[in-house]
Chain A
Amino acid sequence: MTYFSSVEGSLFLITALVAVVSAVMVITQRNPVYSALFLVLTFCALAVLYLLLGAQFIAMVQVIVYAGAIMVLFLFVIMLLNLDRPLETQSKLKHQRLVAGVLAAVLLVEMIYLLHRGLPTTGTQPSPPRNFGTVEEVARVLFRDFVLAFEVTSIVLLIGMIGVIVLAKRHLDEKKAAAPERILSPLRKE
């Protein structure tokens, strides 16, 4: 009880509530653009939760990369799909809701059981130093201990670039060859 009455605890409660409610809104909205905007809110709430854990750098990256760049991609992909068609209310997968509900219930029971039994926090592991999430600490670990992982990241990004071109550009080239007029004026009414 003492934790939740502290500043930290009440901040956690509020942000956790915002995160959960906005996550539920993401999957219940009919309009996918609203879903995407609620996802931004979820990401922002997660960033605050990271801050509460002392992971400042991750919190910043969460806002810049997830709430910024990835949401731009999501919105573009939503707009890329046909939105003028009425959305399908019936899911293609049978019993999807039922299975999801059962799995969620199992996860909830597991979590309640673990919380009730008490997590092994005391004594076994020293808690990380308070500065473990600062930019300097992340940099020290990333550029000294995990150099290989860092360099491999560039390969992953490179694959991403090639993938975009292979998937999207080829498609564009084909379309241009087929109908150059349409590509030049995408906003013209068909």
Chain B
Amino acid sequence: MPEYLRPYLPIFVFFLLVFGFGAVNLLLSWMLGPKKPNPKKLSPYECGITPIGDARHRYPIRFYIIAMLFILFDIEAIFLYPWAVYYKQLGLYGLVEMLIFLGILLLGYVYLWKRGAFEWE
């Protein structure tokens, strides 16, 4: 195994365990579990509110706004990560450039706040 892949070996083992655990459990319950289906058991929520209509409903556009803003600020946070790792070597220069970056995004944040993008109404 090449040296640069060695640190990922534990992650690989972890994935194998996770998928193995899931697969073995599904397989065992499929093999061992008795199957006596009736309409009540096969309904999506056996003990709950009776479903109204279809799950394939048109969702409000508000979810789109939230998802889009999540991406934008997610990318902002992604940029902070390498910056924080390399901050000591960058010094004041790094601080100023990140402040400009965050300042521009803060403008957008203030705009979003003023327009009520964070309100669920």
The answer to whether A and B come from one shared complex is yes
Interface residues of chain A, those whose CB is within 8 Å of chain B, are 7-8, 11, 51-52, 54, 57, 61, 64-65, 68-70, 72-73, 76-77, 79-84, 130, 135-136, 138-140, 142-144, 147, 150-151, 153-155, 157-158, 160-162, 164-165, 168-169, 171-172, 176, 183-184, 186-187, 189
Q: Which residues of B contact A142 (CB under 8 A)?
A: 82
CB-nearest residue of chain B relative to A180?
Answer: B121
Q: In the complex, A130 Cα to B111 Cα: how many Å?
A: 43
A136 touches B86 (CB 8 A): yes
Q: Which residues of B contact A150 (CB under 8 A)?
A: 79, 97, 101
Given contacts A142-B82, A154-B104, contact A70 B71 (CB under 8 A): yes
Q: Does B36 contact A (CB under 8 A)?
A: no
A157 touches B68 (CB 8 A): no
B86 touches A76 (CB 8 A): no
B67 touches A72 (CB 8 A): yes
CB-nearest residue of chain A relative to B105?
Answer: A154
Min CB distance, B96 to chain A, in Å? 10
Q: Is the interface of B mostly helix, strand, loop or mixed?
A: helix
Identify the interface centre among B75, B78, B102, B116: most chain A CB within 10 Å of its CB: B75
Q: Which residues of B contact A11 (CB under 8 A)?
A: 5
* Residue tally, chain B, CB below 8 Å to A: 53
Interface residues of chain B, those whose CB is within 8 Å of chain A, are 1-2, 4-5, 8, 52-54, 56-72, 74-76, 78-79, 81-83, 85-86, 89-90, 94, 97, 100-102, 104-105, 107-109, 111-112, 115-117, 121
Min CB distance, B68 to chain A, in Å? 4
A73 touches B61 (CB 8 A): no
Min CB distance, A126 to chain B, in Å? 17
In the A-B complex, list the 7 residue pairs whose CB atoms are closest, starting with the nearest.
Answer: A139-B86, A139-B82, A83-B56, A161-B108, A154-B104, A73-B67, A79-B59
Given contacts A81-B58, A84-B57, A164-B117, contact A138 B74 (CB under 8 A): no
A139 touches B85 (CB 8 A): yes
CB-nearest residue of chain B relative to A154?
Answer: B104
Q: Which residues of B contact A147 (CB under 8 A)?
A: 97
CB-nearest residue of chain A relative to B97?
Answer: A147
CB-nearest residue of chain A relative to B55?
Answer: A83
A7-B2, A68-B74, A165-B115 are known; give 14 further A-B pairs, CB within 8 A.
A8-B5, A69-B75, A76-B63, A136-B86, A143-B97, A144-B90, A150-B97, A151-B97, A154-B102, A161-B69, A161-B109, A165-B65, A169-B65, A172-B62
CB pairs A–B below 8 angstroms (16 shown):
A11-B5, A51-B5, A52-B5, A69-B70, A135-B82, A135-B85, A143-B90, A151-B100, A151-B101, A154-B100, A154-B104, A155-B104, A157-B108, A161-B111, A165-B111, A186-B59
Min CB distance, A149 to chain B, in Å? 11
Q: Which residues of B contact A54 (CB under 8 A)?
A: 4
Q: Which of B82, B89, B104 contacts A138 (CB 8 A)?
A: B82
